[in-house]
């Protein structure tokens, strides 16, 4: 089976409202700048089981320029640098909720 959309979740593992879309053993969460993605013409859809779907850009991708933040979930939750440099001093990520599509 080949998927035609990128699958996203409206929250993080452990969120009480998270029904589907992210596995409990996920090690990394990438938060997407939804407003910017929409303004770039990238559509998003809710599936019947509350997974957020997108075909991505013309290449079928969500490029890193749309990444709002990246959080390491395991073994410890912490904010990672977006510039590719390892940042051991990055603060622990306190916001456990992902942004919701309206």
Residue 29 belongs to domain spanning: 6-80
pLDDT in tens, 49-60: 888 999 999 999
Could you give the number of structural domains in the chain? 1
Nearest Cα residue to 72 out of 19, 15, 13: 13
Burial readout 28-59 (b: 16 or more C-beta within 10 A, e: otherwise): ebbbbbbeebeeeebebeeeeeebbbbeeeee
pLDDT tens-digit profile of 10-38? 888 777 666 565 677 888 999 999 999 99
Is position 87 within any domain? no
Q: How many residues does the chain have?
A: 102
Query: Which is more confidently placed, 96 or 11?
Result: 11
Query: Is 88 within the bounds of a domain?
Result: no
* Average pLDDT value for residue range 78-101: 59
Is pLDDT larger for residue 88 or for residue 36? 36
Structural domain contains residue 30: yes
What is the mean pLDDT of the segment spanning 69-85? 87
Residue 38 inside a domain? The answer is yes
Is residue 44 assigned to a domain? Answer: yes
């Amino acid at each position: 089976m080949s998927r035609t959309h990128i699958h996203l979740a409206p929250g993080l593992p452990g969120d009480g409202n998270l029904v589907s879309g992210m596995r409990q053993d996920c090690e990394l969460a990438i938060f997407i700048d939804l407003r910017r993605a929409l303004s770039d013409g990238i559509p998003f859809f809710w599936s019947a089981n509350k997974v957020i779907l997108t075909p991505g850009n013309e290449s079928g991708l969500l490029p890193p320029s749309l990444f709002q933040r990246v959080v390491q979930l395991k073994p410890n939750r912490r904010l990672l640098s977006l510039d590719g440099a390892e940042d051991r001093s990055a603060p622990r990520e306190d916001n456990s909720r992902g942004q919701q599509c309206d």
